[in-house]
Structure 1
């Protein structure tokens, strides 16, 4: 079911990124927007942020679609059509999301072509309630890829322990994947291995591995929110000195793991020589939750080669207005990042518990947004 849209499609030679975004590009960071709605597409706003703000990709999640579909009138006509056909709420949500993602893929198609698939990507997430079900996740990922039917789609799969094999399976089917909800370096290492295994599987299945791209979405600000709360409980001067430092340090250590597992790994080099495209770290949850912190710190402090930063438009605007990028902020700062985590451990922060809480809460927040969206759409379908 296609909702007719005629979005404006920017051409790569018409783009005029602001200086700070150009600086990020020079450092090796692609800027993606963490938001999508039908209003953005049909009004031309999506084309505007591409042309004038340097955006070269889009990520979505259940919370984003819950906000988009529960406000305004952009979806009313399609909801009425779906209602007449007695389509259940879950199927209706995906029908509308698929139409939006397909249209966004078309808007980004010229960038996708110009970058040989590196950018120009649009992500669509599987039902978050499937985070503990490998088979169902794989089946839905294949269904979504078939329904959107655009080469620049990335299917988002959570990095839950149960879904690690699903990441391999979906990549092995020739589908590009955005792995989401990664909080710990240990889990990130597992994700990268699942990626390597997936590219190997894709090759053995006869797919052109040069066409398969992947990013690993490593969440940043939520790490500070959780650890800062625990540091406040400790309350010492030493604890206060560590506030607001864990998120960036964690991402920098993740980048060191990326260098180890992929960039400098002979196993990956063999696949790369056959056309394999490296899985890039994507910094997610990059809006600052604590107003006392610089509002661009999860952008400027995480610039570096082979990375993506997906951000809400407010964070993008702040970066354009006053963000200062000074080249690679990742590799040169690994030692200091390791020291921060040594100090956190010494002061009594149970990091294992932090990662478990964040992963459980991350999945649950998306499930809650999904359930809320289903309730809203169900009411609209049954008016």
Structure 2
């Protein structure tokens, strides 16, 4: 057991692993992380699978079977992902059951090439739920304009959702409105709100990557003093919005009226999920995005490397370092106006979605090539 990860866990942070492949489950490593590293969830995306499927013996048998069936590359990718996610969900099921559904989730990215088409996204969400047939999965849907309708409709159908690609606490609030509308619809449709989980994935490293380049180019003392601070401040203010909406018993803050009725019906708050927590700036500690966002009622997704770094030398003592610093976070974001921070956020939203699409296309292309090779060698 890691003492550092225990402190983070005890502070109220749900630790998720960022990344999944078949070897992780079959080798027993995921079960070990659950047992020894306080991991209570997994986040997945196409980037992991595109690196692991081709040339990995763990997928050979299924790929040969899929090639013989004559399926398309898209169908093959879906079949592979469904099997991996189902297996991971089974590993995490005891956590899910023990926490009454609070933890033990696997987040699965829906094909991001559907992102600007709401109805196909909703249809794919329903099909994935049917195929995986596990109660502890959440489906990742991009938080662009089309995502508002898709997220609301998916939740309204009683399906758990991960509103992803968030880089702005303002956009987060719009997605929460979509989730709340979906929960109202789910209640009307007779779904048990206690079984619907929702998270909002807030990206970190990418915010600093773009902001810091502009701050350094500006070069003034005021600009340089903000380097490496924008992502944390942005995320911290999202948690402030979370507290205002869902209430906070410790501070005596009451929930907003729009949430109170849903909470009384059993709905769960939409937790913030910190992602893109790998630090690329050599001037920052490699645990900066984890240590700087320790607070109760949040989720932190970490790559294996970041998880290891936190286990080894996290600087967190388990104290909440977010809520005491809301005023400072607002001051930092106000300072970032000198580089057009709002425009940077809009640019990042588009870039992150395009990268997700590119990763998915690459995954499908690699799988198509492998299927073609297997068919040719029969």
Q: Does 1:363 align with 2:356?
A: no
For 2:284, the equivalent position in structure 1 comes to 293
**Distance 1:70-1:236 versus aligned 2 partners, 3 A rule:** farther
- Give distance in 2, aligned partners of 1:71 and 1:381: 12
Measured after TM superposition, the shift of residue 68 of structure 1 is 2.2
- Give distance in 1, aligned partners of 2:128 and 2:220: 50
Cα displacement string for residues 135-181 of structure 1 (whole angstroms, at most 9, x for unaligned residues): 11111111111110000011111101111111111011001111110
Q: Which of these residues, 300, 305, 323, is aligned with residue 331 of structure 1? A: 323
Q: Is the 8 A contact 1:177 1:215 kept in 2?
A: yes
- Give distance in 2, aligned partners of 1:71 and 1:236: 50
**Where does 1:193-272 land on structure 2 (aligned, <5 Å)?**
193-263=177-247, 264-272=255-263
SS in 2 for 1:167: helix
- Give distance in 2, aligned partners of 1:75 and 1:104: 15
For 2:371, the equivalent position in structure 1 comes to 381
- Give distance in 1, aligned partners of 2:284 and 2:112: 31
- Give distance in 1, aligned partners of 2:293 and 2:55: 33
Q: Which of these residues, 129, 150, 171, is aligned with residue 187 of structure 1? A: 171
Q: Does 1:341 align with 2:333?
A: yes
SS in 2 for 1:56: strand
For 2:268, the equivalent position in structure 1 comes to 277
- Give distance in 1, aligned partners of 2:179 and 2:196: 11
Q: Is the 8 A contact 1:70 1:373 kept in 2?
A: no
Q: Does 1:317 align with 2:312?
A: no
Measured after TM superposition, the shift of residue 356 of structure 1 is 1.3
Measured after TM superposition, the shift of residue 71 of structure 1 is 4.5
Measured after TM superposition, the shift of residue 54 of structure 1 is 1.2
For 2:250, the equivalent position in structure 1 comes to none
- Give distance in 2, aligned partners of 1:128 and 1:341: 30
For 1:6, the equivalent position in structure 2 comes to none
Structure 1 runs of 4+ with >4 Å offset: none
Q: Does 1:163 align with 2:153?
A: no
- Give distance in 2, aligned partners of 1:148 and 1:118: 20
Number of positions where the alignment pairs a residue of Structure 1 with one of Structure 2 = 365
> RMSD of the TM alignment (CA)?
1.0
SS in 2 for 1:198: helix
Q: Which runs of 5+ in 1 are unaligned?
A: 1-16
Q: Is the 8 A contact 2:54 2:370 kept in 1?
A: no
For 1:3, the equivalent position in structure 2 comes to none
Q: Does 1:108 align with 2:92?
A: yes
Q: Which of these residues, 344, 352, 377, is aligned with residue 342 of structure 2? A: 352
SS in 2 for 1:139: helix
- Give distance in 2, aligned partners of 1:363 and 1:27: 32
Measured after TM superposition, the shift of residue 325 of structure 1 is 2.1
Q: Is the 8 A contact 1:36 1:68 kept in 2?
A: no
- Give distance in 1, aligned partners of 2:121 and 2:146: 10
- Give distance in 2, aligned partners of 1:22 and 1:71: 37
- Give distance in 1, aligned partners of 2:222 and 2:258: 42
- Give distance in 2, aligned partners of 1:53 and 1:277: 25
For 1:57, the equivalent position in structure 2 comes to 41
Q: Which of these residues, 133, 143, 148, is aligned with residue 149 of structure 1? A: 133
- Give distance in 2, aligned partners of 1:331 and 1:340: 15
Give the TM-score, by structure 1 length. 0.93
Q: Which runs of 5+ in 2 are unaligned?
A: 248-254, 374-378
- Give distance in 2, aligned partners of 1:361 and 1:214: 24
